[in-house]
Amino acid sequence: MVESALVIEDLHVFIGTAHILQGVSLTIAAEPVAVIGRNGMGKTTLCDTLFGLRWAESGRIVYGDHEITKIKPQVRSHLGLAYVPQGRRLFPHLTVREHLALAAYASRQRGQGASRVDVLELFPKLGELEDRQARVLSGGEQQMLAIARALLTRPSLLVLDEPSEGLAPVAVAMMVEALRRLSGTGMRLLLVEQNLRVAASLARQLAVMVNGRIVEETRAADFLQDRQAQERLLGLQV
C-alpha cells in the first residue's frame, strides 16, 4: 500500500448560503478513523468534498504529497482514493458481473489494473450472484457490491459513508469483518457512521461531528464508556 496520509485542514464548505462544514480538520494515517454524528451534521458533505463532488470555499485537503483540494474526482481516484457513498448508488439494471467489469475496465484505463479474484475472495457471496441485477439484491448484498466496485480501483484510502445504514445485523457483521480484513492489509479507512457500535468496532479513533465541526477526537473505547458524552454529542439515550 502507498504510505500516504489524508490531512484535512480548516475546511469550510457552503451549500448555497448554508455554511455546512465550519473549519473541519482531521488526519487519517495508518489507523482507521470513524467520524460519527447525528443526521444533518455535515458528514456526507465532508465525504463528498474529500472526493471532489463538492468544492471547499477555503481550507486544504492533502493526500500524501499531493494537495487535492481543487482537483477532479477522477484524479483523486488515480491517486488512490475511493468512495462508497451513502445509499450505494448502484446501477439498478446492471448485473453484479457488469458492475465489476465496468469498474475493472475503468481502473485498467488508468493503468492501475484490478483484481476481480481479490474482491470475490473478500465477498464470496457476490460470486453466486453475478447474473443478478443490482435492484433485486438485498441491502447487504448491494453494500458488498458497492465496496467491491470501489476496491477494483485498488485504492490506498477507502471512504465509506454510512455503510451500515439499512442493513440487517448479520449483514453488518459480515461487512465489519470484511473491512477489518482490508484494514489488516494496510488500506486506510475513513468510516462515516451514525451507528456508534459499528464505528467503534472498526476504528480505535473517533471524531465526533456536530453542526459542521469536529468537536471531539477520542479513543473509541473511552467514548463507549462515556454515557454523558454519548447523550450530549449524539443524542443517544443510554
Instruction: Let me know if residue 67 belongs to a domain.
Output: yes
Identify whether 194 is part of a domain. Answer: yes
Q: Write out the residue range of the structural domain in which residue 166 sits.
A: 6-87+156-234
CATH number at residue 17: 3.40.50.300
Query: How many structural domains are present in the chain?
Result: 1
* pLDDT tens-digit series, residues 2-36: 457 999 999 999 999 999 999 999 999 989 999 99
On whether residue 132 sits in a domain, the answer given is no
Cell 443490482 belongs to residue: 134
- Displacement of CA 9 from its chain's centroid (Å): 19
Reduce the DSSP state of residue 175 to 3 states and report it: helix
Residue 165, in any domain of the structure: yes
Query: Span 122-130, mean pLDDT?
Result: 92
- Structure confidence at residue 139 (pLDDT): 93
Does residue 116 form part of some domain?
no
Spatial separation of the C-alpha atoms in residues 42 and 70, rounded to whole Å: 19
CA distance 48 to 65: 21
Q: pTM of the entire structure?
A: 0.88
Residue 215, in any domain of the structure: yes
Higher pLDDT, 91 or 105: 91
pLDDT tens, 219-235? 999 999 999 999 888 87
Q: Which residues pair with 192 in a beta bridge?
A: 35, 161
pLDDT at position 104 is 79
Tally the C-alpha atoms within 13 A of residue 102's C-alpha that lie toward its C-beta.
Answer: 12
